[in-house]
Amino acid sequence: MPERQFIPVRFAVLTVSDTRTLADDKSGQTLADRIGEAGHEVVDRAIVPDDSGRIRRLVQAWCADPRVDAVITTGGTGFTGRDVTPEALEPLFEKRMDGFSQVFHRISFEKIGTSTIQSRATAGLIGQTFVFVLPGSPGACRDAWDSILRDQFDYRHTPCNFVEIMPRLDEHLKRGGGVS
Q: How many domains does the chain have?
A: 1
pLDDT of residue 169: 87
Select from 56, 46, 48, 139 the least CA-distant residue to 91: 56
Is residue 179 assigned to a domain? no
Say what the pTM is.
0.94
Residues of the chain with pLDDT under 50: 175, 177-180
Instruction: Give a yes or no: residue 24 inside a domain.
Output: yes
Alpha helices in 21-70 (DSSP H): 26-37, 52-64
Structural domain contains residue 2: no
What CATH number has the domain bearing residue 42? 3.40.980.10
Say if 5 falls within a structural domain: no
pLDDT at residue number 3: 86
Which residue range forms the structural domain that includes residue 118?
A: 10-174
Q: Does any domain span residue 140?
A: yes
